[in-house]
Amino acid sequence: MLAAIAGFISDLLASSVVRFLAIKLVLSALFITVLPIVLNNLFYRILSSFLSSISSHFPDTQSVTVQLTGLAAFLADHLQLVSFVSILMSALALRVTFKLFGLLKPL
């Protein structure tokens, strides 16, 4: 009787662990592959609608909007924003990983 109860509990625990790992795997894959694409498309649509509304209100400023985009890329390159964001995301990923495995003690 005790063995049957222990077997039932271990089966329930094992299925819960497997379900948890499967959900984690699927969510991780979605966050790594799908979320950046969705955010990029959303940002592109917002920027495109913004620039088209500006060019419709000011028809002679098409070259200015293109130059502003080039200016933003120039500033991002010289301020090394790409490296900054890369280091920041790596640090956040490490922190989440450490918290996930209990290696980081709360302050």
| Domain residue ranges in the chain | 1-59, 60-107
Query: Quick check: pTM over 0.85?
Result: no
Question: What does the pLDDT look like over 19-56, one tens digit per residue?
Answer: 888 888 888 888 888 888 888 889 888 888 887 887 77
CA distances from 100 to 21, 42, 95, 97 (A): 13, 30, 8, 5
* Among 84, 85, 89, CA closest to 31: 89
Q: How confident is the model at residue 61 (pLDDT cuts 50, 70, 90)?
A: low
Of 96 and 12, the structure prediction assigns the larger pLDDT to 96
Question: What does the pLDDT look like over 69-91, one tens digit per residue?
Answer: 777 888 888 888 888 888 889 88
Of 26 and 12, the structure prediction assigns the larger pLDDT to 26
